[in-house]
Structure formats: structure tokens, C-alpha cells
Amino acid sequence: MFCTRALGATLTVITLTAFAWPAVRGPDDPPEPGGLRDRQWALTPLDARQAWRTTRGEGVVVAVLDTGVDDDHPDLAGAVIDGPDLTGAARAGPPWGRHGTAMASLIAGRGRGTDRSRGVIGIAPGARILSIRIALENDDPRRARFRGGDGRSLARGIRYAVDHGARVISMSLGCGGNEWEGTAAERRAVRYALGRGAVLVASAGNDGAGPNRRNFPAAYPGVISVGAVDEKMRVAPFSNRQRYLSVVAPGTGIITADGSRSYVIGDGTSSAAAMVSGIAALIKAEFPAMSPAQVRRAIERGATHAPAGGHDSAYGHGVANAVRALEQAAGSQRRPLRAAAPRRASGGAVRETAAGASTGRGSGEGVGPRQLVCALLVLLVLSMSARRLLKSRRCSYRPPADPEP
């Protein structure tokens, strides 16, 4: 978690160096045991793969307000729009952009890896990232004297994101210190973004086992506040518990891209917020006219593992789920989700019949179900009419014509 003024929690990281990536595979391919994608456990409870049958977030720009995003990482190649640096501090040294790169990979990672194989894939791998640098890394030696430039970097970043086409704004950051009430400039910026249709998502905070302070920007009205759960869907001890919490999402043992072109494992509500930002991007891609409030409700109503009372300060409305959120969005817009695009068959295109079954056409299409039925009927007629066939070897048979497209 990062803040433009003060910060109470860090991203726990362990560099991953022991992976041997397999040959190039697509993002929908099942994970191979021991592979990097196999360790992205969060994809399963979020139902990301099923959601990709409808949309991957194409056409949506997600602004990542963070420490900067390294567009040189293979998993993010071609996905990053370089925005302004509002920190007032030059990019220097290895610490630059590690946290921002990690969050960007969870939102829109392309899953290419260092050898263009699998790598980290985000929840919305078709979306693009607008990188806006508003904070320094925790281990940056300049952090002690840096206090967010003029103190308004977050507010300026939000406004820049809205004015440059971001439909989702991801803020895996927060404040501690004595400014728990936020700032007037940030409140105005949040209202500005919401009024122009941008969805804002923020991490709930990582001091739930301690002071459990209100965390900004997560506490601003209209912002989707996200807490963290582990692999057993239990609330992580560090996840802040507040009445304004919207949902929770995976936030322990999360593999992400690293600014040094490698990978790290991290714990925190930062990762959870980034994944929910990816879900918001999927919704905005499929239903671009939905308001921020409608998107928030779709995510909350689509949550799984809902608490007994429907909401509580630790679990929010439950665990965010991409498919259910899309279904809720579709219901609110009174239209069904798009079906999965049919795959191409070898030797010809695949088309849908009136009954919904795919039918191969073109050269080398092989035997289809209608032809098989006809062949069986011919064999039956032949076996029952053996005598007649002995007298007359002529047999005319015309199979039914293919259905019209």
C-alpha cells in the first residue's frame, strides 16, 4: 500500500527464480502443474477464465495511480500508456515502479513471461494501463523527505486519469499519519471522476491487525473499497475492517510481475484492489454506459460467500467474482451476456446452426452428424433389403442438404 503522504504497510515480496516455463500457450489453456500460471490461484475463485468467454476488457483504459509502471516487462508489453509523474522525484535506481508494475500485471497482464510464454495474466488482459506516478516505493531512500509533491498528487492524478479517457481508476494506496479524514482536494477529485462516469477502486488498508484506521481514498463515498482474503476465503488478518468495505478479493500469496522483469509474491489489500479493478474493466468493456454506482452494485451483488447479514465490516458483501458481476450487470441493463465466440476448425470456418451447434464447412471438413446418421440409415436399408439388392445392384441415395446458413 502506498500513500502520497504517509504509509503504514508494505508489499511483502519474494523474488521468483525457480520457474521453468513451458512452450507458448494461450491464456485459456489449463495450467500445467508447477508452472507460473498454476500458481495464480486467484483466477479460480474470481472465475476469470469463464468471464473471458464474454470479454477481456478490450477498449477500456484503467488508470493505475501508483509508483509508476514498467512498460518494459514482457507481460505488459504494448499494454501501457505512459502518463505524468506527479511526484516531483526523478526516476532513479532499481526501486522505481515495482509496486505499480505489480498492480498493473494483476489488472491487464498479457501472460507472456520472460520467454514470451505464460507469465502473469491479469483479470482484464485486453485492457490498457494508463500509468500515473504519484508515490515512491517504500524502500526508496527519498521517501522520508517526499510527501507527494505539493500534497495534491492523488487529486491531480485522478483528474488527469478522467480527462485522458480512463474508465476505471485503480488506487492500491492509502494514508495513515494524522490525515485520516482525507483532503478536500481529493474529495472534489473523487466527485469529479464519479460525475464523469469513471469507476474508482481502492485498497481497504493493511493495518487491520493493529490500529485498523480509516483508509483513504478507500473511505471516500462512491469508491469501491476492497479487503483481502486467503486461499480458504478467510479474511486476511492484516485486512482493514470498516463499515464502508465493498467486497474482498484474493490478497495473500499473489504472484505479480516485478519491475526488474522478474516476478514476486506479495500479500496485501493492494493486490485485491487491483483484481477488482480488473473486474470493473470487464464490466465497462461489456456495458460502457453503466454508471460507477451501477458497476459497484453489480460487483457487490455478484459477490460469493456473502456474510449472513448480507454485509459486514470484515467481508463487505463477500468475495468478488467476475462472472457473477457480469451477470448482475447484464441483468441491470436488461440484456444477456454475449456468448463465447466460436473457435475456428481446421479446414474451414465454424458457423452456428439455428439449433446452436457448430458445423464445419469448406474443404476437409470431415463427416458431420447429419452425414453420419444418413450413413447408418443406408446400412440399415442395405441389410434389410439384401435379396432385392442381389437382383438389382443399383441403389440411389441422396442425403439431406446441409442447412442454409
Tens-place pLDDT, residues 243-298: 999 999 999 999 999 987 889 999 999 999 999 999 999 999 999 999 999 999 99
Grid cell in block for residue 208: 487491520
Between CA 286 and CA 304 the distance in angstroms is: 21
pLDDT greater than 80 at residue 362? no
Buried b (16+ CB within 10 A) or exposed e, 110-129: bbbbbeebbbbbbbbbbbbb
Number of helices and strands in the chain (H, E): 9, 12
From 199-208, 241-250, 392-401, the region with the lowest mean pLDDT: 392-401
Q: Residue 290 in contact with residue 333, Cβ under 8 Å?
A: yes
Positions marked active-site? 66, 99, 270
Q: For residues 265 and 20, which has the higher predicted lDDT (pLDDT)?
A: 265
Residue 114 lies in a domain: yes
Number of domains the chain contains: 2
CA 3 to chain centre: 23
pLDDT greater than 60 at residue 54? yes
pLDDT greater than 80 at residue 26? no
Q: For residues 138 and 367, which has the higher predicted lDDT (pLDDT)?
A: 138
- The whole domain housing 75 covers 15-332
Are residues 116 and 155 both part of a single domain?
yes
Are residues 171 and 126 both part of a single domain?
yes
Are residues 274 and 137 both part of a single domain?
yes
Between CA 194 and CA 162 the distance in angstroms is: 9
Boundary-marking domain end, from 299, 332, 365: 332
pLDDT value for 379: 55
Are residues 292 and 363 both part of a single domain?
no
CB count in 10 Å sphere of residue 195: 12
Cβ partners under 8 Å of residue 196, min gap 6: 162
Residue 107 lies in a domain: yes
Q: Residue 252 in contact with residue 231, Cβ under 8 Å?
A: yes
Task: Report the candidate in 105, 40, 37 with the shortest Cα–Cα distance to residue 72.
Answer: 105
pLDDT greater than 80 at residue 2? no
Residue 105 lies in a domain: yes
pLDDT in tens, 134-178: 988 887 777 666 654 446 899 999 999 999 999 999 999 975 444
Average pLDDT over residues 228-242: 97
Q: Residue 336 in contact with residue 330, Cβ under 8 Å?
A: yes
pLDDT value for 146: 61
Are residues 356 and 270 both part of a single domain?
no
Q: For residues 28 and 248, which has the higher predicted lDDT (pLDDT)?
A: 248
Are residues 383 and 288 both part of a single domain?
no
Backbone dihedral angles phi then psi of residue 156, each to the nearest 5 degrees? -65, -40
Query: Can you give the pTM of this predicted structure?
Result: 0.77
Are residues 267 and 379 both part of a single domain?
no
Residue 400 lies in a domain: no
Between CA 66 and CA 101 the distance in angstroms is: 9
pLDDT greater than 50 at residue 62? yes
pLDDT value for 92: 67
Q: Which residue has the cell 492484516?
A: 238
**What CATH number should be reported for the domain holding residue 137?**
3.40.50.200
Are residues 297 and 377 both part of a single domain?
no
> Partners of 133 in the beta sheet?
66, 85
Residue 54 lies in a domain: yes
Q: Element (H or E) spanning 51, and its range?
A: helix 48-51
Are residues 220 and 366 both part of a single domain?
no
CA 149 to chain centre: 31
Are residues 265 and 371 both part of a single domain?
no
**Mode of pairing for the β-strands spanning 224-229 and 199-203:** parallel
Cβ partners under 8 Å of residue 98, min gap 6: 11, 13, 67, 70, 137, 258, 259, 260, 264
Are residues 255 and 387 both part of a single domain?
no
Q: How confident is the model at residue 41 (pLDDT cuts 50, 70, 90)?
A: very high
Average pLDDT over residues 196-201: 98
Given its phi and psi angles, is residue 272 left (phi above 0), alpha (psi -120 to 50 degrees) or beta? alpha
The total number of residues written for the chain in this structure: 405
Highest mean pLDDT among 87-101, 229-243, 359-373: 229-243
pLDDT value for 390: 33
User: Average model confidence (pLDDT) for the chain?
Assistant: 78
pLDDT value for 139: 77
pLDDT greater than 90 at residue 316? yes
Average pLDDT over residues 310-338: 94
Give percent of the chain with pLDDT exceeding 90. Answer: 60
Per DSSP, 316 falls in state B
From 97-111, 254-268, 301-315, the region with the lowest mean pLDDT: 254-268
Q: Element (H or E) spanning 194, and its range?
A: helix 184-195
**Angle formed at CA 86 by CA 83 and CA 89, multiple of 5 degrees:** 115
Give percent of the chain with pLDDT exceeding 70. Answer: 68
Between CA 63 and CA 81 the distance in angstroms is: 9
Residue 320 lies in a domain: yes
pLDDT value for 129: 98
Q: Residue 23 in contact with residue 117, Cβ under 8 Å?
A: yes
Residue 283 lies in a domain: yes
Are residues 377 and 296 both part of a single domain?
no
Per DSSP, 220 falls in state S
pLDDT value for 142: 75
CB count in 10 Å sphere of residue 10: 17
Q: Residue 249 in contact with residue 229, Cβ under 8 Å?
A: yes
pLDDT greater than 70 at residue 23? no
Residue 2 lies in a domain: no
pLDDT greater than 60 at residue 234? yes
pLDDT greater than 80 at residue 208? yes
